[in-house]
Amino acid sequence: MCTCGRPAGPARRLSTGARARLHRVLVDELREAHEQPTHLPEPRDDRLRAVARILDNNPADTSPLAALGRNVGAGARTLSRLFHDELGMTSTTNARRAVSEP
């Protein structure tokens, strides 16, 4: 929802000058932003720890949870529960995202 006083609608095209100004603002903001370290708690469960190692070694791995489970001796439901209970994550997608962040 836009609170700028204009009705919401299709995105409008920016002029070259507006695009350049927006680019400068974004670059300035990114330069001033402080790096936020990512910290994942170390899983306690051996199976989940093994999955975390797999994802850490290959963040681009897109294996479904069931395939990861077969590699570590756990079912998809068990891993899903462990991800939630131990890491507070609802899916391996979130874990992959967290592992791939610098």
By the 8 A CB rule, do 47 and 73 touch? yes
68 belongs to a structural domain: yes
Instruction: Note whether residue 27 is domain-resident.
Output: no
Q: What is the pLDDT of residue 1?
A: 45
pLDDT at residue 78 above 90? yes
- The C-alpha angle with vertex 36 and arms to 35 and 40, in degrees rounded to 5, equals 140
Q: Does 72 fall in a domain?
A: yes
> Is residue 25 in some structural domain?
no
Q: What is the DSSP string of 78-100?
A: HHHHHIIIII--SSHHHHHHHHH
Distance CA 85, CA 20 (A): 46
* Residue 85 lies in domain: 46-100
| 95 occurs within a structural domain | yes
**Percent of the chain having pLDDT more than 90?**
32
Q: Mean pLDDT across the chain, nearest whole number?
A: 81
pLDDT tens readout for residues 13-45: 889 999 999 999 999 998 988 876 666 678 899
Structural domain includes residue 73: yes
Distance between CA atoms of residues 29 and 62, nearest Å: 32
Pair of tokens at residue 12: 């409008």
> What is the tally of structural domains in the chain?
1
Q: Is the pLDDT of residue 93 over 90?
A: no
| Structural domain includes residue 34 | no
Predicted pLDDT of residue 96 = 65
Q: What is the mean pLDDT of residues 43-48?
A: 92
Q: 57 lies in a domain?
A: yes
Average pLDDT over residues 37-57: 83
